[in-house]
Amino acid sequence: MSTEHRSDKPGVSRRTLLARTGAVAAALATGPVLGGIQPAQAAGAWRVPGEEAPHKRTWMAWPSSTTIWGNLLSKIQADIAKLAREIAKYEPVVMCADGSSAASQARSMCGSTVTVISSVPVSDCWMRDTGPLFRVDGAGGLDAFGLNFNAWGENATSFYGIPASAYNKDRVLAGKLATYDGVPFAKAAVVGEGGGIEYDGDGTLMATESCWVNDNRNPGKSRAQIEAELLSRFGASKMIWLPGVTGYDVTDGHIDGTARYIGPGVVMVQLAGAVRPDVWTRNAQAIHDVLVNATDARGRRLQVLTIEGPDTLPRIPAGQQKDFLSSYMNYTVTNQAVITTQFGDTAKDAAAKTAIAAAYGRPVVQLNLDNLYGNGGGGAHCVTMQEPNV
């Protein structure tokens, strides 16, 4: 789920070509791809449910920092509000805003169907990466853990020059939100982001190595150590490691813009359309090729569904199209619908909507979120975190 940094944007996109800053060249992160190491502590009853399981609510965060967003802030806020209002048609939405002034603005823009709170401070809107991951035990229990968010390996600072302190509230958001929610909380022994890992709720995880086996997040830790910790925290027993892209975007190649679990044993992969730079096209195909040969924790050969990204972005100026996150896969699942984006490519938009609706057996809503996907470089999945029903 990566785009490059817009040249007219003063250090605010989450995704960017490092060429803009003269940094290191990008490379596909390859190597052994199929895991299967048992967690250090055998997975017990606790597990993170798949996102298609029933939700109690969706958590979001209101962007209000001009240090991070500059003069793009109002456009990002408009897309966040639009998305929150749509999700609220299908399940409760709680929006965390940074103080009373931001909360008042959020309430005005989101409307009465979205609950806005000001008692959980936030730095920015990327709740998928900063918020807690909730677990259930099958007996009515709920707890949560955090992944020690460090501003995408401090890439926000090294890529764009945003002060590290601009994300201080998000570094501790997971624990504070869990406390507010009355849920027991623990910190994982690894650093990463929720957008960097996919889970089926039935024992299998998938992630790109480029996000996790990376010294900007987990220096000195081996892939086996990182895998064991993630399996233990998620209540899983098998990891499928996927090739990723290092150095082309702030996230180092989050999986949630390319491949998603539909449910146990079923994944969907977006193959790049004509507007995506070649590095992402190659990576999407490499991810697909691994998954079609993979089995999950139950020994099932994965069913791999595919869609294609847009070939045109008619609303986006030609010079900005290569920087745009043209991912239908960065959708958010709600109790009654799946909410994704549309890009103005009529044929590809319709095909993606049909395929996702058929896969989930739920209606699909497509919103115009050009500011979030373009100027923000993230999508509907990036800015939401579901809390499961127990």
Residue 96 within any structural domain of the chain: yes
Residue linked to tokens 């609510």: 57
Residue 1 within any structural domain of the chain: no
Annotation says 211 is catalytic: no
How does pLDDT run along the chain (390 residues), one tens digit per residue?
Answer: 333 222 233 333 444 433 333 333 334 443 333 343 333 334 458 999 999 999 999 999 999 999 999 999 999 999 999 999 999 999 999 999 999 999 999 999 999 999 999 999 999 999 999 999 999 999 999 999 999 999 999 999 988 899 999 999 999 999 999 999 999 999 999 999 999 999 999 999 999 999 999 999 999 999 999 999 999 999 999 999 999 998 888 899 999 999 999 999 999 999 988 988 899 999 999 999 999 999 999 999 999 999 999 999 999 999 888 878 999 999 999 999 999 999 999 999 999 999 999 999 999 999 999 999 998 889 999 999 999 999
Residue 382 within any structural domain of the chain: no
Residue 9 within any structural domain of the chain: no
Q: Closest Cα partner for 16 from 177, 312, 251?
A: 251
Residues contacting 239, CB < 8 A, separation 6+: 35, 36, 37, 204, 205, 206, 207, 227, 230, 231
CATH code of the domain in which 71 resides: 3.75.10.10
Residue 134 within any structural domain of the chain: yes
Would you say how long the chain is, in residues?
Answer: 390
CB count within 10 Å of CB 31 equals: 10
Range of the domain at 88: 18-258+279-300
- Residue 262, pLDDT score: 98
d(CA 130, CA 196): 11
d(CA 323, CA 132): 29
Q: Under a CB-based contact definition with an 8 Å cutoff, are residues 236 and 203 in contact?
A: yes
The alpha carbon dihedral of 21, 26, 32, 36 has a sign of: positive
Total structural domains within the chain: 1
DSSP tag of 34:
B
This prediction has a pTM of 0.91
In sequence order, what DSSP letters do the residues of 234-289 get, joined into one string? HT-SEEEEE-EEESSSTTSS-GGGTEEEEETTEEEEEEP-TTS-HHHHHHHHHHHH
Three-state DSSP class for residue 198: strand
The one-letter amino acid at 378: G
- Residue 35, pLDDT score: 40
d(CA 259, CA 266): 11
Residue 340 within any structural domain of the chain: no
- Residue 308, pLDDT score: 97
- Residue 20, pLDDT score: 33
**Alpha carbon separation from 290 to 27, 30, 203, 384 (Å, rounded):** 18, 11, 18, 28
pLDDT digits over 153-181, tens only?
Answer: 999 998 889 999 999 999 999 999 999 99
Strand order in the sheet with 133-136: 133-136, 142-146, 185-187
Residue 366 within any structural domain of the chain: no
Three-state DSSP class for residue 60: strand
Three-state DSSP class for residue 129: helix
d(CA 156, CA 150): 9
Residue linked to tokens 């993170």: 48
Residue 61 within any structural domain of the chain: yes
In the numeric block, which tokens belong to residue 343?
A: 């890009």
Residue linked to tokens 């709170």: 117
In the numeric block, which tokens belong to residue 183?
A: 């849920």
In the numeric block, which tokens belong to residue 344?
A: 């103005």
Give 229: exposed, middle or buried? Use CB within 10 Å, 0-12, 13-18, 19+. buried
Give the relative orientation of helices 73-87 and 100-110 as an angle to the nearest 10 degrees.
60
Residues contacting 278, CB < 8 A, separation 6+: none
pLDDT digits over 84-105, tens only?
Answer: 999 999 999 999 999 999 999 9
